[in-house]
Structures are given as C-alpha cells and as structure tokens.
Amino acid sequence: MPVRVPCGRWLKGPYCRVCNVTDGSRYYEPAASACLPCEDSDSATPLAVLGVVIVSVLLLLVWCGRSKPCGRIPLGLRIRWRKIAHELFSAMRAPLKQMLAFYQASRL
C-alpha cells in the first residue's frame, strides 16, 4: 500500500500547490514549493487601472447612448458583423467552458 505524504505547511490541493489561507496573506512560490507570506505591495496601481477602465467604459456607454453611432452603419454591414460575432462567440464557448472547469479544479 502506498504511503500518502501530506502536504507541507500552509499547502493544500491535489498537487500541494495551493495555499490554504483565504485572506490573501500568502502566495504559492513554485521555485521554493512553499506558501510564502506576501510582501507589502502598492495596491493603488491596480486600483487606479481598474478605475480608469470603469470610467472609460461608462464614458463610452454614455457616448453611444447620445450619438447613436450604430445608426450610421448600413444595415447589411451591421447584419454581417452580427453574424460574424455570433460565429466567433459560438466557437469560443467550448474552450471557455473547459478553461473554467480546469480553473475550478485547480482551486481545490
């Protein structure tokens, strides 16, 4: 009967590559094969980028709502673009499902 070796300190998961803390105070380091404490980092940069993206999307939505840019595109071209987008999104559906399933399995 094979001997099961438990994961090291702070580790869990099928390959012992997931930190067992949920507060974000530790991260997995593959080179050390350990769950190391996070250093104090500047979280303002990611928050600033997120804020800029959100404001940009909101401004784009306001502009599209006021100027109606889609009304100036010929109907035939709009239908063709819609068809192409539908085909592309349909082709991406199965790979996205697989990526989601593998992500969920790796988070165990």
- Classify residue 96: in a domain, yes or no: yes
Residue 52 lies in a domain: no
Q: How many CB atoms lie within 10 A of CB 35?
A: 22
The amino acid at residue 47 is: L
Span 50-75, pLDDT tens digits: 999 999 999 998 988 888 877 788 88
Q: What is the pTM of this model?
A: 0.37
Residue 5: give the domain boundaries.
Answer: 1-39
> Which region among 13-17, 56-60, 80-84 has the lowest average model confidence (pLDDT)?
13-17
Residue 2 predicted with pLDDT over 60: no
Domain count, the chain: 2
Question: Is residue 26 assigned to a domain?
Answer: yes
pLDDT value of position 5:
59
| Alpha carbon of residue 66 to chain centroid | 31
